[in-house]
Amino acid sequence: MTLTLLSSAAEVLLATGHDPFARRSLDRPLDHAWLLGRTVAWLAVDAESGNRYLSALGAPPQVAELLTELLPELPPGQRLTVPHGTPAHLPAWVSLDGNDWDFRWLDQPPPVQPGEDAVRPIEDEGEIAALLEAANPTASARPGDPSVRRWFGIRQQSLLVTCAADTSTPAGIGHLSSIAVHPAARGHGLGRVVTAAVTRRLFDEGCDLVTLGMYADNEHGRRLYDALGFHDDHRFTSGPLRIRDRW
């Protein structure tokens, strides 16, 4: 197969069939993109940090074949997001030091959950930080993060017990981050309520897609998002590429 250079984000979207993951990740300015058979990879630059991220879609053996073609062009430690299982097909002197995670999305509003009317905008960053410290210290979005447009949550007796960050892009794609429930309030479906309420709000505001990411071993989150109808067919590994000397 011949490696073909793509010249625009529009070509990447066409090659991926306007895949939801491609739509979400192409909010970054496109640097380079490639097509090998039905496998697509694209390198985009994060406007905030200036870091370059290479993402790919396709069957793991073909993604590994495409990456092998690109190895001479990639700098040491290049950060990748590739379909789960891809690293096993890379050459023996190449590895990916990464984490497994799932990309999930909805293309229509979720079922209405009892208690959604209790979800309100939250502006006190101190109480958000305290909740995340107690409930989810490794949360991807934090108070003060420039990617966060706003926070939502539920208070019970003046205590913030659940939250979610709206980290949507200007391109009409909603995105949720840092969904958390205080340990003392778990078991009552509050994560499902806040997720459903904020997702519904994003659709009401004109988004045609709402996305989120979750660690692959988060079985509680998996059940929550399954119950709301989030798609579950994109599993990835993300991390820096490691290239050792050949022997």
138 in a structural domain: yes
Q: Does residue 15 share a domain with residue 55?
A: yes
Q: Above 90 in pLDDT, residue 49?
A: no
- What lies within 8 Å, CB to CB, of 127 at 6+ separation is 160
Q: Does residue 122 share a domain with residue 50?
A: no
Amino acid 247: pLDDT: 45
Residue 195 carries which DSSP code?
H
Q: Above 90 in pLDDT, residue 46?
A: no
Check residues 27 and 194 and name the one with the higher pLDDT: 194
Pair of tokens at residue 22: 């491609």
pLDDT band at 76 (very low <50, low <70, confident <90, very high): confident
SS3 49: coil
- What lies within 8 Å, CB to CB, of 225 at 6+ separation is 104, 195, 212, 214, 232
For residues 14-38, average pLDDT: 92
Rounded distance between C-alpha atoms, residue 42 and residue 140, angstroms: 23
Q: How many other C-beta atoms are found inside a 10 Å radius of the C-beta of residue 51?
A: 11
Check residues 25 and 176 and name the one with the higher pLDDT: 176
Report the mean per-residue pLDDT for the chain.
93
Q: Does residue 72 share a domain with residue 50?
A: yes
Q: Does residue 193 share a domain with residue 126?
A: yes
> Which domain, by its residues, includes 7?
3-99+236-243
- What lies within 8 Å, CB to CB, of 222 at 6+ separation is 102, 214, 232
Strand 173-181 to 159-166 pairing: antiparallel
- Cα distances from 18 to residues 7, 8, 22, 58, 104, in angstroms, run 16, 13, 7, 13, 15
170 in a structural domain: yes
Amino acid 50: pLDDT: 65
Q: Above 70 in pLDDT, residue 77?
A: yes
Q: What are phi and psi of 23, to 5 degrees?
A: -60, -45
Tally of domains in the chain: 2
Rounded distance between C-alpha atoms, residue 190 and residue 70, angstroms: 45
Check residues 52 and 58 and name the one with the higher pLDDT: 58
CATH number at residue 189: 3.40.630.30
Q: Does residue 112 share a domain with residue 88?
A: no
Q: Above 60 in pLDDT, residue 246?
A: no
158: left (phi over 0), alpha (psi -120 to 50) or beta: left
218 in a structural domain: no
For residues 239 and 101, the answer to whether their CB atoms sit within 8 Å is no
Amino acid 67: pLDDT: 96
pLDDT per position as a tens digit, 170-211: 778 999 999 999 999 999 999 999 999 999 999 999 999 999
Q: Above 50 in pLDDT, residue 60?
A: yes
Amino acid 245: pLDDT: 66
Amino acid 47: pLDDT: 56
224 in a structural domain: no
